[in-house]
């Protein structure tokens, strides 16, 4: 198979390598000429045999939308675009429509794997018609792990990114699950070696997982995580998962709480807690801390 | 009525005043001789006519337990102890048993009202037998607001403090409700005058309340609460409410979340969020922030 | 002042009455001829002196958008539309733009008060330019309570509905706060008369509020709420509040949890809990309930 | 090594087998004579060489406390009791004290593995002095998986059960994480084959885990879990985890929410949501559902 790949950053660059190792002929384009195979998007398109397949691997939002728009002008009937970035599923529906008007096919593909994907393979969740997915299958086969790790999630555009989005929502809450347990074990005086406890859980327990392996790797380097700030970004996908839950009236207590915990982690001070403190101060004079003697003060609030 | 009052701090002192204003004869004892009417607990007990009624208004936990123990030695059959502090309902059950073994009655009484109680009256929730509660009724009548504000919550010891405890749990969550709304309004660019919005809600809306009045008073002084840190203590009662919910298999999402928000507000950094950051760093190299160019990087995670 | 009012349902009908009682001349239109003053929207517009002011009080979403669109064709430069329905603030921005293109002003107004508004006045939160708001002020003054209850939340379209939306989000969480406390008190064996406890809280406590008054009214009729199903709809506003929080990275644990509790209340069975039960069954054979004898079974999970 | 094992239910019986397969000589006692090696606890103790080691594997709470009490009378200085059940860590502290007064050692051991433990090994988390733990090590080695799965969590009694307790708390929240994601995917119309999506996640994704394997096994049998009710018991450990968090002021949003979701799953109707419905009915007449026509009703609440 012959494929064009737009975007050769950390993800795209490794994916090019894995596709080539898997026998796919890849022509890559990136704005950074040091890593690019060709000088322009036009050259990339010209270099491909028809029907042309172009995999877009650039940041979600405007960059992806703009790249898809340009490809809509460069490609023609029977060609195909794959969006492998972290796009929102509603973007896919718009992109599929835009390209479909010109007879260009569209497949959306959520990609998981991070820096481990090159070696272990990428998990792929794609959406699109059977016919369009079939055209990309050799690339999917090269990218995915040896066993499993690929799913054609649905025939409508967005099905793949929706599945990947939910994956990320679950990921947030799983991480928060371990994190809360770790904090409690760190806090109590009873358990002497929290790192060993977490390490032991990697075998034989109900909660063994790859995320647990990662957490153990981290605490083995820095047992109390002294060098790491409790600050966590969130990608769009956690937010979209909760929004999709709200739209579909699905209760989502733990994924939402995990998302909110990340928001809190990025605040210097919490406006909400200022309001709490202000109310407490109004009704009970709680701002003044006094240590009452025996026979002294009781419940001011 | 004649009553002994142990503990003349901010709460006890004002309650002595309000009881006296209401026609109750009060003899007060406090370790602080400047405010105490007598020199010792023994003198207080001697000063009371039989059957003696002693209201304990000292901090919950050891101070209250110790005072009750001492009163158990000084009082006798037919006398009565009222615990008006913030004791846990399970303590009441122990105190009632201890005193009951000597024929001394026991009434537990949750008191709400804070610094406003002297003027407006204290809300009182008490537990104990009809007979015991009747003995204290003149004091309750003097303390409570003109209308309402008093309930005999149950005949078992602890019923009053349990009701007060739940009151405080509800209070936590109500405060958090306003606080979250306030934070959102402060954050968005759309609403020009958040203080006026909150003030307007005091009339005609579904959410008007005394807590809202307090919050408005606070933001009228300091519109963005710049002078207040987002730091909130919790009394034992919020914790006990959630524990009682757990023990009784009652789902308690919002009261628990409000309690946890207070815990978070007191942390310099969040150990849980360190763990999140550590895992993210392991799987995606997320610690390094890079701005990908168009045609650059996509979804490293 | 002379005003047109479109939509004479439960809310609109009462608002017409209150405006008239306040000295505003109102011409109302509704599809239901029994309550309508005129036969069509065209007649309503014709009946108004210039500059014409039309208050739209129809369901949010398509009905409001369609009514605004029609008014955009019937009104002219210098006229004004007020949207008093429960529209999303983003709709206001679109409506203001649509009307603004024709020189027609736009004010959005969140209205709270329900069935009590006719008697007590409606709380009003509006958005729009000073000039436009001034044109509607006599109507606002007639509708609002005697004291307070009106705010010009911001000059941008949507400010009023945004403030009302947050009001509703807070309302959800306040209701959930009382509801959780009520459930706990109902569940434990300790408190004999939960209704009296709640009633007593209406005086002197930190948690007194109008919502508490309503809950007391309900449990005085039906102490254990035997006649009411635990089923709660949600209007769009609770959802939009959480979505706005997510968009603005504002942690919103309790309002979100309150929304999710409503979703859960409407489910016959919980798909999520089916998944939990399925996992438990896989790892521990938890589907089979056996009572182990002493010397019998232990921790199968 | 020679060990006594009390309790030969589903867990204890399999553990006897695995210990024997691992070269440990086991004498087992159970009230059920069909599975018991000896006729009484006395016979079991007599059958052991000194220093005697007895592993207690009976239900937590009264059964375990009673068995430990009896062993305290039958064993002597230098002997040792292991509690491998699901005891609360605070029970361990009492048991260690009781036995310690007679010179009998005590080790607490949390055991995870369920029905899979016989084949794959049990994960073991133990607490106690180095000396005591060393006496049981051959049994631990026989029970644990080939690699890892054993930790000496701390030297104080209860350290092992505390670690196991937190493990279970994490487990609750991880299960809830997958469950919420599954519900959302089932609900939306976009993803055609949810089972395949979950199956694909088992390879190459961030969220691969043993729990995911179990969920996939379940949905492969019954794709929409039609045969399973959304009803989930909770063991004590989830509750104790949240209680320990509260006691230690550790925010625990997601584990607590997971616990509450289980409580909700077991309710026929939600008292809290009855209260919500009652308040809504009071303020807005929300009990009556009417479909307003265009030009009809708007925001009654």
- Over residues B98-125, the mean pLDDT reads 94
pLDDT for C6 equals: 98
pLDDT for B185 equals: 98
> What is the β-pairing status of strands B2-6 and D2-6?
unpaired
Pairwise CA distance, residues A52 & A73, whole Å: 13
Pairwise CA distance, residues B12 & A299, whole Å: 9
Burial A227-248 (b: 16+ CB within 10 A, else e): ebebbbebbebbbbbbbbbbee
Phi, psi angle pair for A107, to nearest 5°: -130, 130
Domains of chain C: 2-156 (3.40.50.720), 165-265 (1.10.1040.10), 267-301 (no CATH)
CB spacing of A9 vs B297 below 8 angstroms: yes
C46 pLDDT exceeds 80? yes
Pairwise CA distance, residues C181 & B127, whole Å: 18
Chain D positions in Cβ-Cβ contact with residue C283 (cut-off 8 Å): 114-116, 211, 214
Alpha helical stretches, state H, chain B: 10-21, 41-47, 62-74, 89-100, 117-120, 130-143, 159-187, 194-200, 210-221, 236-247, 253-265, 271-284
Q: Is D237 a catalytic residue?
A: no
pLDDT in tens, B115-163: 789 999 999 999 999 999 999 999 999 999 999 999 999 999 999 999 9
Pairwise CA distance, residues C12 & C5, whole Å: 8
CB spacing of D144 vs A203 below 8 angstroms: yes
Chain C positions in Cβ-Cβ contact with residue A301 (cut-off 8 Å): 206
CB spacing of B183 vs A271 below 8 angstroms: yes
CB spacing of D186 vs C278 below 8 angstroms: no
- Over residues D11-30, the mean pLDDT reads 97
DSSP state for residue D264 in the 8-state scheme: H
Chains contacting A (3+ CB pairs below 8 angstroms) = B, C, D
Closest CA–CA distance from residue A135 to any residue of chain B (Å): 23
CB spacing of A269 vs B116 below 8 angstroms: no
D250 pLDDT exceeds 90? yes
Does the CB of A222 have a partner CB in chain B at under 8 Å? Answer: yes
Which run of H or E residues covers position D68? Answer: helix D62-74
Does the CB of C195 have a partner CB in chain B at under 8 Å? Answer: no
Confidence of residue A296 (pLDDT cuts 50, 70, 90): very low
Among the partner-chain residues D147, D153, D252, the one whose CB lies closest to the CB of A203 is D147
CB spacing of A218 vs B261 below 8 angstroms: no
D291 pLDDT exceeds 60? no
Chain A positions in Cβ-Cβ contact with residue B295 (cut-off 8 Å): 6-8, 29-32, 58, 63, 67
Contact A32, B293 (CB under 8 A): yes
CA distances from A262 to A232, B173, C207, C248 (A): 5, 21, 30, 13
CB spacing of A218 vs B253 below 8 angstroms: no
CB spacing of C63 vs D296 below 8 angstroms: yes
pLDDT in tens, D125-158: 999 999 999 999 999 999 999 999 999 999 999 9
Residue with tokens 């928060």: A176
pLDDT for A292 equals: 33
CB spacing of B251 vs D243 below 8 angstroms: no
D107 pLDDT exceeds 80? yes
Q: Is A144 a catalytic residue?
A: no
**Token pair recorded at residue A146:** 């040896």
CB spacing of D270 vs C275 below 8 angstroms: no
CA distances from C144 to C55, C60, C83, C246 (A): 15, 21, 16, 32
Q: Is the peptide bond before B106 cis (omega within 30 degrees of 0)?
A: no
pLDDT for D115 equals: 78
User: Closest chain C residue to D252 measured between Cα atoms?
Assistant: C253
CB spacing of A123 vs D188 below 8 angstroms: no
**Token pair recorded at residue A96:** 């599929």
pLDDT for C301 equals: 40
Q: How many residues does chain A have?
A: 301
Mean pLDDT, chain C, integer: 93
pLDDT in tens, A38-69: 999 999 999 999 999 999 999 999 999 999 99
**Token pair recorded at residue C201:** 């809280």
Pairwise CA distance, residues A22 & A24, whole Å: 6
Residue D49, sorted as left (phi over 0), alpha (psi -120 to 50) or beta, turns out to be: beta
Does the CB of B231 have a partner CB in chain D at under 8 Å? Answer: no
Residue ranges of B 135-194 with Cβ closer than 8 A to chain A: 168, 175-176, 178-180, 182-183, 186-187
Between B299 and D24, the higher pLDDT residue: D24
User: Closest chain B residue to A288 measured between Cα atoms?
Assistant: B233
Q: How many residues does chain D have?
A: 301
Mean pLDDT, chain B, integer: 93
pLDDT in tens, A66-95: 999 999 999 999 999 999 999 999 999 999
Confidence of residue D113 (pLDDT cuts 50, 70, 90): confident
Chain A positions in Cβ-Cβ contact with residue D206 (cut-off 8 Å): 112, 114, 167, 171, 210-211
Residue with tokens 């009951």: B100
- Over residues B13-32, the mean pLDDT reads 97
Coil, strand or helix: which one is D113?
coil
**Token pair recorded at residue A46:** 């010209």
Pairwise CA distance, residues D87 & D225, whole Å: 33
The percent of chain C in helix, strand and coil, each rounded to the nearest 5, is 50, 10, 35
Alpha helical stretches, state H, C34-61: 41-47
Residue with tokens 């109310």: A279
Closest CA–CA distance from residue C164 to any residue of chain B (Å): 9
Closest CA–CA distance from residue D181 to any residue of chain C (Å): 8
Among the partner-chain residues A243, A253, A263, the one whose CB lies closest to the CB of C260 is A253
- Over residues A211-224, the mean pLDDT reads 97
First CA to last CA distance, chain B: 73
B301 pLDDT exceeds 90? no
Coil, strand or helix: which one is B203?
coil
Q: How many CB pairs below 8 A link A and B? A: 313
Query: By percentage, how much of chain C surpasses pLDDT 90?
Result: 91
Query: By percentage, how much of chain D surpasses pLDDT 70?
Result: 94
Among the partner-chain residues C265, C281, C286, the one whose CB lies closest to the CB of D273 is C265
pLDDT in tens, D123-133: 999 999 999 99
Helix B236-247, helix B159-187: angle, nearest 10: 110
Closest CA–CA distance from residue D74 to any residue of chain B (Å): 34
B284 pLDDT exceeds 90? no
CB spacing of B218 vs A278 below 8 angstroms: yes
A67: Cα within 13 Å, side-chain hemisphere: 35
Confidence of residue B295 (pLDDT cuts 50, 70, 90): very low
Chains contacting B (3+ CB pairs below 8 angstroms) = A, C, D
**Token pair recorded at residue C129:** 């330019």
Among candidate residues D43, D171, D183, D196, the one labeled active-site is: D171
Contact A139, A3 (CB under 8 A): yes
Burial D180-207 (b: 16+ CB within 10 A, else e): bbbbbbbbbebbebbbbbbbbbbbbbbb
pLDDT in tens, C94-110: 999 999 999 999 999 99
- Interface with C, mutate which of D272, D288, D289, D293 (most C CBs under 10 A): D272
C124 pLDDT exceeds 60? yes
DSSP state for residue B124 in the 8-state scheme: E
B196 pLDDT exceeds 50? yes
Pairwise CA distance, residues D77 & D50, whole Å: 10
Coil, strand or helix: which one is D108?
strand
pLDDT in tens, D77-105: 999 999 999 999 999 999 999 999 999 99
Residue with tokens 């409000």: B258
Instruction: Enter the ipTM.
Output: 0.93
- Over residues C159-163, the mean pLDDT reads 98
Mean pLDDT, chain A, integer: 93
Q: How many CB pairs below 8 A link B and D? A: 53
pLDDT in tens, A145-154: 999 999 999 9
């Amino acid at each position: 198979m012959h494929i064009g790949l737009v975007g050769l950053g950390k993800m795209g660059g490794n994916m090019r390598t894995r596709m080539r190792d898997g026998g796919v002929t890849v022509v890559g384009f990136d704005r950074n000429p040091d890593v690019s195979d060709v000088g322009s998007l036009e050259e990339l398109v010209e270099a491909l045999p028809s029907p042309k397949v172009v995999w877009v691997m650039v940041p979600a939002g405007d960059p992806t939308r703009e790249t898809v728009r340009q490809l809509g002008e460069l490609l023609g009937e029977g060609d195909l675009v794959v969006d492998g970035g972290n796009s929102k599923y509603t973007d896919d529906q718009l992109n599929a429509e835009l390209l479909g008007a010109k007879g260009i096919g569209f497949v959306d593909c959520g990609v998981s794997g991070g820096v481990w994907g090159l070696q272990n393979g990428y998990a792929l969740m794609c959406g699109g018609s059977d016919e369009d997915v079939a055209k990309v299958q050799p690339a999917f086969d090269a990218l995915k792990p040896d066993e499993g790790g690929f799913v054609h999630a649905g025939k409508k555009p967005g099905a793949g990114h929706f599945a990947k989005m939910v994956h990320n929502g679950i990921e947030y809450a799983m991480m928060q699950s371990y994190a809360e347990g770790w904090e409690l074990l760190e806090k109590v005086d009873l358990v002497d070696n929290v790192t060993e406890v977490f390490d032991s859980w990697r075998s034989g327990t109900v909660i063994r997982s790859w995320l647990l392996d990662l957490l153990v790797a981290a605490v083995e380097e820095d047992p109390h995580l002294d060098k790491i700030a409790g600050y966590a970004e969130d990608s769009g996908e956690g937010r979209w998962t909760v929004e999709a839950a709200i739209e579909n009236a699905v209760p989502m207590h733990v994924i939402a709480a995990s998302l909110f915990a990340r928001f809190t982690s990025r605040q210097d001070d919490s406006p909400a807690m200022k309001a709490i403190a202000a109310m407490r101060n109004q009704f009970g004079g709680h701002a003044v801390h006094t240590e009452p003697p025996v026979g002294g003060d009781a419940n001011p609030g």
